[in-house]
């Protein structure tokens, strides 16, 4: 079975956010998959998705602090600044962290580790709603 659909995330403030539950609420079809794969593509160049710690919120704060030091705003060498000081840094952060994930499905559930969650990295001050293209391939 193949299924593909686009879902939208609620707008988030700048930073790193757990989005597992928001994704799962929009994918009731997942419950019917015995074994398969779920692929997620974020359809934006200024936000990212990744997997990391889902228990301690300070990890997400530290992610934001680190990535902002790694890719600072208002660096004098940036020329792509038409959409503001956060624009080019957001593109770089998205490329560094990634735009897609592929996750295993077993018995209607994503097979993440005990302390793993799906992160949205919102790298813009006003990114708005983000769109994810979800592709599921599996057996029911």
Q: Name 36's bridge partners.
A: 105, 138
- Structure tokens, 103: 């996750």
- The pTM of the full predicted model, rounded to 2 decimals, is 0.95
Cα–Cα dist 49/117, whole Å: 10
Q: How much is the average pLDDT of 136-140?
A: 95
Chain segment 97-128, per-residue pLDDT in tens: 999 999 999 999 999 999 999 999 999 999 99
Q: Is the pLDDT of residue 91 over 90?
A: yes
- Find the domain containing 57 and state its range: 2-139
How many structural domains are present in the chain?
Answer: 1
Cβ-based neighbours of 19, under 8 Å, separated by 6 or more: 9, 49, 118, 119, 120
CA distances from 128 to 9, 12, 74, 116, 131 (A): 9, 7, 22, 25, 10
Q: Is the pLDDT of residue 140 over 90?
A: no
- Assign residue 135 the CATH number of its domain: 2.60.120.460
What is the structure's pLDDT at 42? 98
Chain segment 22-76, per-residue pLDDT in tens: 999 999 999 999 999 999 999 999 999 999 999 999 999 999 999 999 999 999 9
């Amino acid at each position: 079975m193949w299924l593909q659909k686009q879902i939208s995330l609620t707008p988030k403030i700048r930073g790193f956010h757990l989005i597992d539950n928001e994704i799962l609420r929009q994918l009731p079809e997942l419950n019917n998959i015995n074994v398969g794969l779920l692929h997620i593509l974020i359809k934006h160049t200024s936000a990212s998705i990744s997997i990391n710690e889902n228990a301690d919120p300070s990890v997400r704060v530290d992610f934001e602090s680190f990535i902002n030091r790694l890719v600072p705003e208002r660096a004098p060498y940036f020329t792509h600044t038409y959409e503001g000081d956060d624009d080019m840094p957001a593109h770089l952060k998205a490329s560094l962290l990634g735009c897609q994930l592929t996750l295993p499905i077993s018995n209607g559930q994503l097979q993440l580790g005990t302390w793993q969650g799906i992160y949205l990295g919102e790298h813009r001050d006003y990114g708005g709603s983000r769109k994810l293209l979800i592709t599921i391939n599996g057996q029911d």
